[in-house]
């Protein structure tokens, strides 16, 4: 694949080279002497032909690097927006549905849907009978979620939000937080209130804040893994909703169906198993996505003419090629 892309790049540069040579032939072999020049141009003196160097394809350059540098270059690639990335975001959306179903049943709060928490704060402040002893959980979830989004978002700006290395690091940290909440729920108190419950909510909200920051940075707003209200509104007002090919519509529909499915799974697991098992299931799903990020295709910058213009293209370097070379 890399060789085919290199041949295509060479072909484009060869065409540009022929056009320039044709233009030079039409203008004449020599440039006339300018006014005031003391040294006329000699017709017998051969002119040096211009030197054109065809650039090496970025994938070829990457595969020629030593193993440690090749692996580093692969990790710092920006990931390609394709169906593989869509599948990863949908798995995270499924995990969100499972998680919010569990936390609402046991802690009367959401760890990702902060719109619902804003309403719960108002109800709890006025001592509504609809909520009982939820103030610590709701306040913790809302504050920690915002803090998590800020921390993960700004660190992502420094490292590079679209880079594979940041997607992996971010998801590893989020997954570790969910495993920590699972352990705290399993070995701590199983009550729905108390210090342990607040700790579980805090760890999960921090993880969800990082997750939505990760989802938004890959520029797939239809698959933000958490919010479906905006997706439903955009789906309803879409002028092309009935067109056969409508990628944005398909993503929004899948996002809605996936988060609803996650809610059903979370409710079923809580009913027939335990809330700890729900948390463990979410942690496993996030672990799978973390591993999947290693296999996403990256992007590369490819020159398309002699003036230096570039375009973004799909990289042909796979995970195995990054390890073993070409």
Top pLDDT among 324 and 128 is at 324
251: CATH: 1.20.1250
Per cent of the chain over pLDDT 90 is: 44
**How many domains does the chain contain in total?**
1
Longest dimension (CA), the chain: 101
Per cent of the chain over pLDDT 70 is: 79
Q: Is residue 134 predicted with pLDDT exceeding 80?
A: no
Closest CA to 5 of 62, 70, 51, 83: 62
End-to-end CA distance of the chain: 11
Residues in CB range of 97: below 8 A, 6 or more apart: 258, 259, 260, 261, 262, 263, 264, 265, 266
Q: Is residue 213 predicted with pLDDT exceeding 80?
A: yes
pLDDT tens across 47-90, in order? 555 544 445 678 888 888 888 888 899 999 999 989 999 999 99
CA distance linking residue 9 with residue 124, whole number of Å: 64
Q: Is residue 205 predicted with pLDDT exceeding 90?
A: yes
| Predicted pLDDT at 98 | 96
Which spans in the chain are helix H? 2-27, 58-63, 67-75, 83-107, 114-125, 135-159, 164-187, 195-217, 229-236, 247-272, 275-292, 319-324
Residue position matching structure tokens 């803090």? 147
- 58 falls within a domain: no
Q: Is residue 93 predicted with pLDDT exceeding 70?
A: yes
| Predicted pLDDT at 181 | 96
Q: How confident is the model at residue 307 (pLDDT cuts 50, 70, 90)?
A: low
- 53 falls within a domain: no
- 61 falls within a domain: no
Among 127-141, 256-270, 284-298, name the one with the lowest average pLDDT. Answer: 127-141
| Predicted pLDDT at 4 | 47
- 192 falls within a domain: yes
- 50 falls within a domain: no
Helix (H) or strand (E) holding 314, with range, is: strand 310-314
Among 24-38, 65-79, 115-129, 238-252, name the one with the lowest average pLDDT. Answer: 24-38
- 77 falls within a domain: no
| Predicted pLDDT at 121 | 84
For residue 142, give its domain range. 83-295
- 259 falls within a domain: yes
Q: Long-range contacts of range 110-115, CB-CB < 8 Å, 24 or more positions apart? A: 110/141, 111/141, 111/145, 111/201, 111/204, 111/205, 111/207, 111/208, 112/145, 112/205, 112/208, 112/211, 112/212, 112/226, 113/226, 113/227, 114/141, 114/142, 114/145, 114/146, 115/227, 115/229
Q: What is the DSSP secondary-structure string of 240-308?
A: TTTSS--HHHHHHHHHHHHHHHHHHHHHHHHHHS-HHHHHHHHHHHHHHHHHHGGG--BEEEEE-STT-
- 59 falls within a domain: no
Top pLDDT among 191 and 1 is at 191
Q: How confident is the model at residue 33 (pLDDT cuts 50, 70, 90)?
A: very low
pTM as predicted:
0.79
């Amino acid at each position: 694949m890399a060789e085919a892309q290199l041949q295509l790049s060479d072909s484009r540069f060869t065409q540009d080279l022929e056009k320039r040579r044709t233009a030079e032939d039409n203008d004449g072999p020599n440039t006339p002497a300018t006014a005031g020049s003391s040294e006329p141009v000699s017709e017998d003196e051969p002119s040096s032909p211009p030197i054109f160097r065809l650039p090496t394809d970025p994938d070829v350059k990457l595969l020629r690097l030593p193993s440690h540098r090749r692996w580093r270059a692969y990790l710092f690639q920006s990931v390609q927006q394709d169906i593989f990335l869509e599948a990863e975001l949908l798995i995270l959306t499924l995990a969100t549905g499972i998680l919010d179903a569990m936390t609402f049943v046991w802690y009367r709060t959401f760890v990702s849907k902060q719109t619902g928490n804003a309403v719960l704060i108002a109800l709890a402040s006025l001592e509504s009978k609809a909520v009982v002893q939820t103030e610590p959980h709701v306040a913790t979830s809302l504050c920690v979620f915002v803090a998590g989004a800020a921390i993960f978002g700004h660190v992502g700006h420094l490292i590079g939000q679209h880079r594979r290395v940041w997607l992996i690091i971010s998801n590893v940290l989020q997954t570790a937080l969910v495993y920590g909440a699972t352990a705290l729920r399993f070995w701590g108190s199983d009550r729905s209130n108390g210090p342990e419950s607040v700790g579980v909510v805090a760890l999960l909200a921090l993880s969800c804040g990082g997750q939505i920051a990760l989802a938004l940075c890959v520029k797939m707003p239809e698959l933000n893994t958490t919010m479906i209200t905006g997706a439903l509104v955009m789906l309803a007002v879409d002028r092309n909703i009935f067109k056969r090919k409508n990628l944005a519509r398909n993503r929004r529909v899948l996002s809605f169906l996936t988060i609803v499915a996650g809610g059903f799974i979370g409710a079923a697991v809580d009913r027939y198993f335990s809330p700890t098992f729900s948390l463990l299931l979410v942690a496993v799903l996030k672990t799978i996505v973390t591993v999947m990020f290693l296999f996403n295709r990256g992007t590369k910058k490819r020159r398309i003419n002699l003036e230096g213009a570039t375009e973004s293209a799909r990289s042909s370097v796979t995970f195995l090629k990054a390890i073993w070379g070409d």
